[in-house]
Structure 1
């Protein structure tokens, strides 16, 4: 009998959501850095979902085709990671709109967070997002990645060069996300979640 390695038998599909849509945003830089870490983590298959390039209806009850692309990606995902800046001690309004326009896609799945901002590193945005995802029956990962004043931490090509602490935090969060993602995928397959 083979030893249990603690890794999922099939790769976990992880939707990495870039939560900012402002002009000149830093989200793609942080997102690229994190996607690179996730792509090199064992048994994860990450996909990027960008709220800035997703056409979102501004009223509820809008036709579903307007968000069919992201909806399919979210429905197929086993886990999520939200990359968010901190705006006015919280997260962006477009991210809230994106989250609220979906419901079943989040249920009984884990959500990790990568935040960035000034001295707080975006941690207040994460704390607000935890309450939102709890209401949507998602499980949030305890450990997060928080980047403090990251704008000057880029190489000559413009890529983020995070310190060893951020790299270690990403590994910890991805390990926990993998555990929860595998456990909840197995549970959903055995018995549909009653949200």
Structure 2
């Protein structure tokens, strides 16, 4: 039995959450959506947020052993981002929907890593079109399931940009969207703490 279980103490350390910004397009709405989300999550003292913006992470497109040699400068980016993902207890992925799916840069980040995702929860903030990016999220759930991650049931979907998002990229119905974000974060925190304790007590067997 662990010390936590035997003494009855609860895990009070802040939950380390990597917030992954998946869009790298010029003129993207991702920056405004991310700022809105960070502002909504700021009131939760139990969360320690680390923003991983893929626009600032020039990951190589060719993986070793796949028929090419990655750019050394691009590979160096992994030395910055990989430890941050490894240190995270949970993830929030902010993604648009492109052609019924999610951005290639996001898939590239996911594919460059494996153990960093295992036995950790993932929440989603999506935006774009009438569906609010939900089709991108549904595909991401399949990808993360393959990597032994746990996706939380509730997500935040921002419909627009024509209807649900204002010109500044923030939700028009702020109260509803903030409620959805807090609900998703509540589930993420529950799973994040439960899985962090479980990983500490027994290594996850992939």
What SS does the corresponding residue of 1:102 show, helix, strand or coil?
A: coil
Kept in 1, the 8 Å contact 2:121–2:191? The answer is yes
Report the equivalent of 2:89. Answer: 78
Deviation at 1:8, TM superposition (A): 4.4
Indicate which of 95, 111, 114 corresponds to 2:106.
Answer: 95
Report the equivalent of 1:21. Answer: 24
In the alignment, the residues of structure 1 paired with residue 193 and residue 34 of structure 2 have an alpha-carbon distance, to the nearest angstrom, of 23
Q: Which runs of 5+ in 1 are unaligned?
A: 1-6
Once structures 1 and 2 are overlaid, which stretch shifts more, 125-134 or 39-48? 39-48
Indicate which of 124, 128, 132 corresponds to 1:113.
Answer: 124
Report the equivalent of 1:3. Answer: none
Deviation at 1:127, TM superposition (A): 0.2
1:38 aligns with 2:49: no
Deviation at 1:150, TM superposition (A): 3.8
Structure 1 length-normalised TM:
0.90
What SS does the corresponding residue of 2:94 show, helix, strand or coil?
A: strand
In the alignment, the residues of structure 2 paired with residue 186 and residue 135 of structure 1 have an alpha-carbon distance, to the nearest angstrom, of 22
Point out the structure with max Rg over C-alpha. 2
Deviation at 1:173, TM superposition (A): 0.2
Report the equivalent of 2:60. Answer: 57
Deviation at 1:67, TM superposition (A): 1.1
Deviations 1:31-55 (A, max 9, x none): 1111122221240011100111101
Cα distance change on mapping 1:119 and 1:67 into 2, 3 Å: same
Deviation at 1:177, TM superposition (A): 0.2
Indicate which of 175, 181, 187 corresponds to 2:198.
Answer: 187
Structure 2 length-normalised TM:
0.86
Q: Which runs of 5+ in 2 are unaligned?
A: 1-9, 65-69
RMSD, aligned α-carbons? 1.7
Number of corresponding residues: 187
